[in-house]
Chain A
Amino acid sequence: EVQLVESGGGLVQPGGSLRISCTASGFTFSDHWMSWVRQAPGKGPECVANIKQDGSLIFYVDSLKGRFTISRDNAKNSLYLQMNSLRAEDTAVYYCARAIRHSYDYWGQGTLVTVSS
């Protein structure tokens, strides 16, 4: 059974940094593109970033380039998102998702990131 478990969310002050993680199981992690998708309260999902199997190709949503960094460790079946210079509008549930054929077929349960003073 495919499982994606996010962790590391919490309350952070504006301008602060946070690193969230996702641990995958139930499939060969190194065979798949992986992604972060976020959903602000009461809003629809928003793609954040996609990373290729070996990390050699990464796509970011333009509005987040330079502040967020996606990375992965295939030996640990883990996906990461480093978030810097956080703003109130970054408050959202952040989902880890498996990407396949230009879609997301499995999602984690999400981790809530709240940016507030």
Chain B
Amino acid sequence: DVVMTQSPLSLPVTLGQPASISCRSSRGLVHSDGSTYLNWFQQRPGQSPRRLIYEVSNRDSGVPDRFSGSGSGTEFTLKISRVEAEDVGIYYCMQGTHWTWTFGQGTKVEIK
């Protein structure tokens, strides 16, 4: 299976400051159809995961534009331009290129 490694695992952030989460895959994520199926999910305390970003950099409907995704090959990044209180939670990257689709260990974002 493709191993997804996130860093850091814990990210204390000051309100209004930027945050960045890294995700590295053990294999390249370019599918045979040419797309790169790297997704980012947010899981707020006590809630189900919610998709924020699909195919590396596409924001889902209703996701604030302070969230952005980038990367290629095996290295990907989720950035929050200015952290707000509602952004507290665990963030997971997930690859959908190779079955079994796999998630990273999660990065816990908290307010300092």
Contacts and interface: CB of A to CB of B under 8 A. Distances in A.
A104 interface: yes
Interface residues of B, number: 24
Nearest to A59: B99
Given A101-B54, A105-B60, A107-B48, A45 B92 contact: yes
B103 A103 contact: no
A11 interface: no
Contact of B48 (A46, A95, A101, A103): A95
Contact of B51 (A59, A62, A103, A108): A103
Given A44-B104, A44-B105, A45-B103, A102 B51 contact: no
B49 A102 contact: no
A35 B102 CA distance: 14
B100 A62 contact: yes
Interface in A74-117: 95, 101-105, 107-110
Contacts of B94: 45, 103-104
Contacts, number: 54
Interface residues of A, number: 18
A47 B55 contact: no
Given A44-B92, A45-B49, A45-B92, A105 B54 contact: yes
Contact of B97 (A44, A46, A61, A102): A102
Contact of A103 (B50, B92, B96): B96
21 contacts: A44-B103, A44-B106, A45-B41, A45-B49, A45-B92, A46-B103, A47-B103, A62-B100, A95-B49, A101-B35, A101-B37, A102-B96, A103-B51, A104-B39, A104-B41, A104-B49, A104-B94, A107-B48, A107-B49, A108-B48, A110-B48
Interface of A: 44-47, 50, 59, 61-62, 95, 101-105, 107-110
Interface of B: 31, 35, 37, 39, 41, 48-51, 54-55, 60, 92, 94, 96-97, 99-106
